[in-house]
C-alpha cells in the first residue's frame, strides 16, 4: 500500500525519493487540457487520464494544480485516482515490463515468470527499480494468447516464454542505457 507524503513515496518495502521534473511541452499540454476540459462533465476523470498520459504518472504538483483549477479538494482527486489501478503516483521506469497474467498465459506459467523477474529486479510487481530503469507489472490479456505466455517491454511483445527466455529478455534491456 502506497502512501504519499509530499514527494516521498513510502511503501511497506522501501522508500523511493524522486524529483518532479516537468518539460515546457508537458506543462503547455496539460494547461491546454485543463482549459479545454475543466468546464465539461466528468472533467476530473478525463483530466486524471490526461495527466497520466502526459507525465506517465500523477505528480503531486499536477494534482494540486488540478484541484485548484477544478475547485475540488485535493483529497477527492487522490481518492478517485487511488480507486483505479490505471493511475500511479510514482514515475514509471524507462522500461515497463508487463507480464500478462490472463488465463492462457497464467496456465502456461506466467505467474512463475513474474515471480522470477521480481526476484531478479529485487522489486515487487507495481514497483520501479531504484535506478528508475525498470517498472514491473502484471497485466490482463493483451490479445496474443496464441503466443502464451507473453510479456511486453514498453510496446514490444515477447511470446512463447519460459523463465529462462524471460530472463534473457531482461538481460537484453539491462545492457541498454
Ligand atoms: S492471456 Fe495472455 S495474451 Fe491473452
- In this prediction, residue 9 carries a pLDDT of 42
| Domain edges within the chain | 3-83, 95-175
SS3 call for 96:
strand
3-state helix, strand, coil in the chain (%, to 5): 45, 15, 40
Ligand 1 pocket test: pick from 137, 150, 151 the residue with the most ligand atoms within 8 Å of its Cβ: 150
- In this prediction, residue 17 carries a pLDDT of 55
Kindly give the number of the ligand 1 atom that is closest to the alpha carbon of 104.
Answer: 1
Which residues have CB under 6 Å of ligand 1? Answer: 100, 102-105, 141-145, 148, 150
Alpha-helical segments (H) within the chain: 24-37, 43-55, 60-70, 74-83, 103-106, 110-121, 163-175
- In this prediction, residue 3 carries a pLDDT of 41
Calculate how far, in angstroms, residue 57's C-alpha sits from the geometric centre of ligand 1. Answer: 25
Low-confidence residues of the chain, pLDDT below 70? 1-18
Topology, domain 95-175: Glutaredoxin (3.40.30)
Amino acid at each position: 500500500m502506497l502512501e504519499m507524503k509530499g514527494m516521498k513515496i513510502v511503501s511497506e518495502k522501501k522508500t523511493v525519493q524522486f524529483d518532479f521534473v516537468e518539460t515546457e511541452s508537458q506543462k503547455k499540454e496539460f494547461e491546454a487540457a485543463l482549459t479545454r476540459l475543466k468546464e465539461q462533465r466528468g472533467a476530473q476523470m478525463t483530466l486524471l487520464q490526461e495527466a497520466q498520459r502526459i507525465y506517465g504518472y500523477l505528480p503531486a504538483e499536477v494534482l494540486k494544480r488540478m484541484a485548484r483549477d477544478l475547485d475540488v479538494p485535493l483529497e477527492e482527486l487522490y481518492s478517485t485516482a487511488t480507486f483505479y489501478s490505471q493511475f500511479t503516483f510514482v514515475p514509471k521506469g524507462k522500461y515497463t515490463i508487463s507480464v500478462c497474467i490472463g488465463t492462457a498465459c497464467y496456465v502456461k506459467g506466467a505467474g512463475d515468470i513474474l515471480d522470477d523477474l521480481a526476484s531478479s529486479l529485487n522489486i515487487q510487481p507495481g514497483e520501479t527499480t531504484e535506478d528508475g530503469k525498470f517498472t514491473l507489472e502484471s497485466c490482463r490479456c493483451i490479445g496474443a494468447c496464441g503466443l502464451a505466455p507473453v510479456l511486453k517491454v514498453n510496446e514490444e511483445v515477447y511470446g512463447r516464454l519460459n523463465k529462462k527466455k524471460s530472463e534473457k529478455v531482461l538481460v537484453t534491456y539491462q545492457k541498454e542505457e
